[in-house]
């Protein structure tokens, strides 16, 4: 019987899959030579059966492989257009027996492609377990009527679906399979809507933040005895309604930001024996009782007297962004911070930072816009052994302060120095942080040259010091970096995201950037780029997004021409956004991209070609004349009058 059942399951599944493959001519010539191998492996993946030659894997590992490349291609073909959907939606019997992970993946793609409509939901009522339609303005009572028929639905996300009302929730009443529901910012849901939810017996996670629910409706939640996760952010929860929830002994997560909870109400929080996460941001709570199981505490924008009254809580994550500390010395005095790995004290008035000395395992530290200066950097260096992320943006830390930090943060991966007074001397210290992947130097005094004062062609380039790092992200927006200072970036082999924003950059900068081998996102904003510069720009083959906003000399025709030659690139400009256009169907590169370029990383500066149009044309004009020219170009940027925006044009 078991063998017969499995064979039946395989037959139905393969029937559905190959219906899709045949209907959309998906099985291309490059797969025909290995049809047998691929088919067996494909069936194995769908059924969560390990391939014949492999050992059984854990369930979580199998789930990660569900949307393998082959399955993804099949789903992509099935969701290519509304016509393609109509071809397979009639295979009702096969779809009913579709494995849940595959049904969920297909449903997600339909939602992302905006091809899902209410009646199509009926196809998935026997197979889908997860439905996420957040921020979908079309979801209403009709959608809910179909979703109410889903027999195995475990997860339903309706966040930001503003057409969802209290009455629209009626179809999901009594749904025994539903375990997680998100109604965040569905402001038309009120206390009566909560009454509909009380008949969902196995509900474990509920998010109703910023809805129309009042304190009276919150009291009704005491009937949902299986709740372990409750988000009440932005609701008028008071001390009385909080007390009514004490019967929820399984509660581990409770979000009460913006509520009316006071110190008296907070005093009962220790009666939730399993509470591990607590958010009291934007409340009047100033102190907390003993919370022996608490791991994460958020008191953003609160006035804090003391965090906890004992040292028993296994605190791992503390968020105090924008908080006011009545007594910095005593605020952390009794709390057990030995296990804290995440601390956010951004935008606070803290200036001593002695409390950092106990946080020996800290990994993520946000000190942005604090009173941190070079004299306090030593406190960070003392606990820097495990740091992975450090945010010093908006502080008074200088290049000298980074010199103190260098050598003490061997595992630091992310460093933000935005809006600090650091200059090019800091880059040599940054190069001594071997694990860095993400560096933000925006709005600093970085120029790209080590030499101060007058710069000539032989001045050493400061960014050269970062070549030995494996940087993946670099932000140089609003710095004094000029074209020639970007030359070292061509040898940044792992760089994927680069952000530049400066009126000092011109066409020649694109020449250096074209040789970054793994670049996927490039932003060159407010630069003096010309049509000629874009025409000669050899975009890296990996490029996916090119942001040219603020480059007002560029014309619509030039941008469209670039998009035709680089159809896989999303181009952003003040004229509009051109999304990736693929002439050859999904996952096919255009012919112009099929020939790979050899990236030469050791070019000499004197090898940079001198283009006849790379002269800085701004030299001919005064600042006032340039502004006049810029505003004179605005009518060109306005496509609303003609009714044809750049992203509405067909790239034939």
pLDDT computed for residue 540 by the predictor: 94
Report pLDDT for 95.
75
pLDDT tens by residue, 554-580: 999 999 999 999 999 999 999 988 887
Name the pLDDT band for 649 (thresholds 50, 70, 90).
very low
Whole-number pLDDT of residue 438 = 99
pLDDT-wise least confident of 23-27, 85-89, 183-187: 23-27
Q: Which pLDDT tens digit goes with each residue over 112-165?
A: 989 999 999 999 999 999 999 999 999 999 999 999 999 999 999 999 999 999
Answer whether residue 592 shows pLDDT above 50.
Answer: no
Give me the pLDDT at residue 96, please. Answer: 74
Residue 548 has pLDDT above 50, yes or no: yes
Q: Which residue has the higher pLDDT, 82 or 341?
A: 341
- DSSP letter, residue 431: T
Residues constituting the chain: 652
* Contacts of residue 607, Cβ cutoff 8 Å, sequence gap at least 6: none
Q: Is the pTM of this model over 0.85?
A: no
Point out which residues pair with 438 in neighbouring strands. Answer: 414, 473
pLDDT-above-90 percentage for the chain: 66
Residue-wise pLDDT tens digits, 626-643: 556 655 544 443 333 333
Rounded Cα–Cα distance for residues 340 and 304 (Å):
18
DSSP H or E run through 112 = helix 100-112
Q: Does the pLDDT of residue 300 top 90, yes or no?
A: yes
Q: How far apart are CA 487 and CA 491, in angstroms?
A: 8
pLDDT value of position 627:
55
| Structure tokens, 250 | 């399984």
Give me the mean pLDDT over the 375-383 stretch. 96
Residue 586 has pLDDT above 90, yes or no: no
The string of pLDDT tens digits covering residues 411-460 is 999 999 999 999 999 999 999 999 999 999 999 999 999 876 666 666 79
Would you say residue 92 has pLDDT above 80? Answer: no
Return the minimum-mean-pLDDT range out of 8-17, 269-278, 518-527, 634-643: 634-643
Residue 617 has pLDDT above 60, yes or no: no
642 secondary structure, DSSP code: T
Q: Is the pLDDT of residue 21 over 50?
A: no
Residue 219 has pLDDT above 90, yes or no: yes
Q: How far apart are CA 506 and CA 617, in angstroms?
A: 10
Nearest of 124, 120, 112, 118 to residue 87 by alpha carbon: 120
The answer, yes or no, to whether residue 42 has pLDDT greater than 60, is: no
Percent of residues, the chain, with pLDDT higher than 70: 77
Structure confidence at residue 346 as a pLDDT band (50, 70, 90)? very high
Task: Please give the Cα distance from 585 to 567 (Å, whole number).
Answer: 11
Write down the pLDDT at residue 637: 39
Instruction: Output the pLDDT for position 611.
Output: 44
SS (H, E, C) 199-257: CCCCCCEEECCCCCCCHHHHHHHHHCCCCCEEECCCCCCCHHHHHHHHHCCCCCEEECC
Which neighbouring-strand residues pair with 181?
A: 156, 206
505 pLDDT tier (thresholds 50, 70, 90): very high
φ, ψ of residue 118 to 5 degrees: the values are -50, -50
pLDDT of residue 313: 86
Which pair of tokens denotes residue 304? Answer: 């804090």
- Report pLDDT for 383: 96
> What does each C-alpha distance from 387 to 66, 208, 334 come to in angstroms?
34, 35, 24
The mean per-residue pLDDT over the stretch 291-313 comes to: 89
Contact of 236 with 212, CB cutoff 8 Å: no
- Domains and their CATH numbers in the chain: 2-110 (no CATH), 111-451+459-501 (3.80.10.10), 502-652 (no CATH)
**Closest CA relative to residue 156, chosen from 140, 174, 139, 132:** 132
d(CA 388, CA 512): 30
Confidence of residue 83 (pLDDT cuts 50, 70, 90): confident
What's the rounded mean pLDDT across residues 506-522? 95
**Average pLDDT value for the chain:** 83
pLDDT at 20 over 60: no
Is the pLDDT at 621 greater than 90? The verdict is no
- Summarised one tens digit per residue, pLDDT across range 467-503 is 999 999 999 999 999 999 999 999 999 999 999 999 9
> Given a cut of 60, is residue 644 above it in pLDDT?
no
Q: What is the DSSP string of 452-507?
A: -SS--TTSPBGGGGGTTS--SEEEEETS---GGGGGGGGG-TT--EEEEE-TT-BT
- The pLDDT score that the predictor gives to residue 253 is 98
pLDDT in tens, 247-270: 999 999 999 999 999 999 999 999
Whether the pLDDT of residue 72 is over 90: the answer is no
pLDDT of 546 over the 90 cut: yes
Residue 581 pLDDT exceeds 70: no
């Amino acid at each position: 019987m078991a063998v017969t059942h499995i064979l039946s399951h395989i037959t139905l599944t393969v029937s559905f899959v190959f219906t899709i493959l045949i209907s959309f001519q998906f099985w291309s010539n490059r797969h025909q030579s290995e049809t047998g191998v691929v088919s067996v492996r494909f069936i194995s993946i769908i059924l969560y059966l390990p391939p014949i030659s492999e050992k059984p894997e854990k369930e979580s590992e199998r789930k990660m492989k569900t949307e393998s490349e082959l399955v993804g291609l099949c789903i992509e073909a099935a969701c290519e257009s509304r016509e393609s959907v109509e071809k397979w939606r009639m295979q009702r019997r096969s779809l009913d027996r579709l494995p849940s992970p595959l049904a969920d993946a297909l449903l997600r793609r339909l939602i992302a492609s905006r091809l899902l409509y209410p009646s199509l939901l009926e196809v998935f009522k026997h197979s889908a377990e997860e439905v996420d339609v957040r921020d979908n303005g079309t979801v209403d009572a009709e959608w809910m009527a179909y979703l109410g028929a889903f027999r195995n639905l475990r997860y339903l996300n309706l966040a930001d679906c503003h057409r969802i009302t209290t009455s629209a929730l009626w179809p999901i009443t009594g749904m025994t399979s539903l375990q997680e529901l998100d109604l965040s910012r569905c402001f038309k849901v009120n206390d009566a809507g909560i009454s509909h939810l009380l008949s969902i017996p196995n509900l474990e996670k509920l998010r109703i933040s910023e809805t129309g629910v009042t304190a009276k409706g919150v009291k009704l939640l005491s009937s949902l005895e299986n709740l372990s996760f409750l988000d009440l952010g932005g609701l008028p929860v008071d001390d009385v309604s909080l007390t009514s929830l004490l019967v929820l002994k399984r509660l581990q997560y409770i979000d009460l930001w913006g509520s009316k909870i006071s110190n008296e109400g907070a005093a009962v929080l220790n009666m939730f024996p399993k509470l591990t996460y607590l958010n009291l941001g934007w409340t009047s709570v100033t102190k907390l009782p003993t919370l022996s199981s608490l791991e994460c505490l958020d008191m953003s924008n609160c006035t804090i007297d003391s965090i906890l009254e004992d040292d028993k809580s296994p605190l791992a994550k503390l968020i105090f962004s924008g908080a006011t500390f009545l007594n910095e010395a005593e605020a952390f005095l009794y709390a057990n911070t030995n296990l804290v790995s995440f601390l956010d004290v951004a935008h606070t008035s803290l200036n001593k930072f002695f409390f950092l000395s106990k946080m020996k395992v800290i990994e993520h530290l946000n000190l942005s816009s604090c009173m941190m200066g070079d004299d306090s950097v030593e406190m960070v260096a003392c606990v820097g052994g495990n740091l992975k992320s450090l945010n010093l943006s908006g502080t008074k830390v200088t290049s000298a302060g980074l010199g103190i930090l260098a050598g003490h943060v061997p595992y630091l991966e992310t460093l933000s120095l935005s809006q600090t007074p650091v200059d090019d001397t800091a880059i040599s210290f940054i190069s001594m942080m071997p694990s860095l992947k993400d560096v933000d130097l925006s709005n600093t005094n970085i120029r790209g040259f080590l030499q101060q004062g007058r710069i000539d062609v032989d001045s050493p380039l400061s960014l050269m010091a970062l070549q030995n790092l494996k940087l993946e992200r670099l932000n140089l927006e609003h710095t004094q970096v000029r074209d020639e200072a970007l030359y070292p970036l061509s040898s940044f082999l792992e760089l994927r995201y680069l952000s530049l924003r400066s009126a000092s950059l011109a066409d020649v900068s694109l020449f250096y950037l074209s040789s970054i081998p793994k670049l996927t996102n490039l932003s060159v904003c407010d630069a003096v780029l010309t049509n000629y510069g874009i025409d000669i720009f050899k975009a890296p083959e990996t490029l996916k997004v090119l942001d040219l906003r603020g480059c007002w000399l560029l014309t619509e025709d030039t941008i469209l021409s670039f998009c035709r030659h680089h159809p896989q690139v999303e181009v952003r400009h003040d004229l509009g956004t051109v999304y990736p256009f693929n002439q050859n169907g999904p996952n096919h590169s255009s012919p112009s991209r099929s020939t790979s370029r050899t990236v030469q990383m050791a070019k000499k500066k004197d090898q940079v070609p001198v283009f006849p149009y790379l002269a800085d044309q701004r030299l001919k004009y005064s600042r006032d004349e340039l502004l006049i020219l810029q505003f004179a170009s605005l009518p060109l940027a306005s496509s609303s009058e003609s009714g044809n925006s750049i992203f509405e044009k067909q790239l034939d």
